[in-house]
Amino acid sequence: MANHPNRSRPLVAFSPEALQTLRKSAGWTQEECAAQVSSTRRTLQDWEAGIAAMHPGLWELLNIKARRNRKV
């Protein structure tokens, strides 16, 4: 996906640590972060704990929303 013509930089691959860092840098609680991708706090906790892997499309969407949130 890094070769997409509209993407200026490659995405950081999903990892529980990357998700926590992204969430905290956006200033979101777990519940607020989960709501950004129409998910539940419990699912987000599973992603952050490494119990489940976040779908790459959701990860990309969350990155886009976090970037927009930081610009506001």
What range defines the domain where residue 57 resides? 16-71
Distance in angstroms (rounded) separating the CA atoms of residues 9 and 48: 24
Average of pLDDT values for 8-24?
86
In-domain check, residue 42: yes
In-domain check, residue 7: no
pTM of structure: 0.80
In-domain check, residue 21: yes
Residues 6+ apart with CB under 8 A from 48: 16, 19, 20, 23, 30
In-domain check, residue 6: no
What is the domain count for the chain? 1
pLDDT digits (tens, 9 = 90+) for 27-52: 999 999 999 999 999 999 999 999 99
- Residue 71: pLDDT band by 50, 70, 90 thresholds? low
Kindly report the CATH number assigned to the domain that includes residue 35. Answer: 1.10.260
In-domain check, residue 8: no
Residues 6+ apart with CB under 8 A from 59: 11, 14, 19
Q: What is the mean pLDDT of the chain?
A: 89
Please report, as a single letter, which amino acid is at residue 60.
Answer: E
